[in-house]
Amino acid sequence: MSLMSIIGCREFEKEIVKVLAEDRTIDRLIVVGNSGSSELVSDLENMGMKPNVFFPEAIPHGLKKSKGFNVLVTLQDVDVYRSLDHMKKEAYEKIKFYGLVSDGILMFYGSCEGIFEDALLDFRNSNFFLELLSSEDGEYLGDNISECFSDQAKQSIPSAELIDKYRKCYKKLKDQILNSKAT
Find the domain containing 100 and state its range.
2-182
Residue range 122-181, pLDDT digits in tens: 999 999 999 988 654 444 333 344 444 444 344 466 778 888 888 999 999 999 999 987
Question: For the domain that residue 6 is a member of, what is the CATH number?
Answer: 3.40.35
What total number of domains does the chain contain?
A: 1
Q: Counting Cβ atoms within 10 Å, is residue 20 exposed (0-12), middle (13-18) or buried (19+)? A: buried
Mean pLDDT of the chain: 81
Rg (CA), the chain: 15
pLDDT digits (tens, 9 = 90+) for 21-69: 999 999 999 999 887 788 999 999 999 999 999 988 888 777 767 778 9
Supply the pTM of this predicted model: 0.85
